[in-house]
Amino acid sequence: MGNSDSSDIDRLTVGDLMTAEVVVLEETTTLQEAVRTMVSRGIRHLPVVKDGTPVAVLSDRDVRMKVSDLVDPQERRKYMETTLVMAHASKPVTTATADMPVREAAQIFVETRIGCLPVIDGRGRLIGIVTQTDLLKWLARLTD
45: helix, coil or strand? strand
Q: What are phi and psi of 104, to 5 degrees?
A: -65, -40
**Structural contact between residues 60 and 12, judged by C-beta atoms closer than 8 angstroms:** no
Could you tell me where the DSSP H helices lie in the chain? 6-11, 14-17, 31-41, 60-67, 73-82, 102-112, 132-142
Report all structural domains of the chain as residue ranges with CATH numbers, in order of start. 6-142 (3.10.580.10)
d(CA 94, CA 54): 9
Percentage of the chain with pLDDT > 70? 94
pLDDT score, position 6:
53
pLDDT band at 132 (very low <50, low <70, confident <90, very high): very high
**Structural contact between residues 119 and 144, judged by C-beta atoms closer than 8 angstroms:** no
Q: What share of the chain is helix, strand, coil (3-state, %, to 5)?
A: 45, 25, 30
**Cis peptide before 47, with omega less than 30 degrees from 0?**
no
pLDDT score, position 10:
76
Q: What are phi and psi of 19, to 5 degrees?
A: -95, 125
Which of these, 36, 62, 40, lies nearest to 116 by C-alpha position? 62
User: CA angle, 42 as apex, 39 and 48 as ends, to 5°?
Assistant: 80
pLDDT tens, residue by residue, 72-120: 889 889 999 999 999 999 999 999 999 999 999 999 999 999 999 999 9
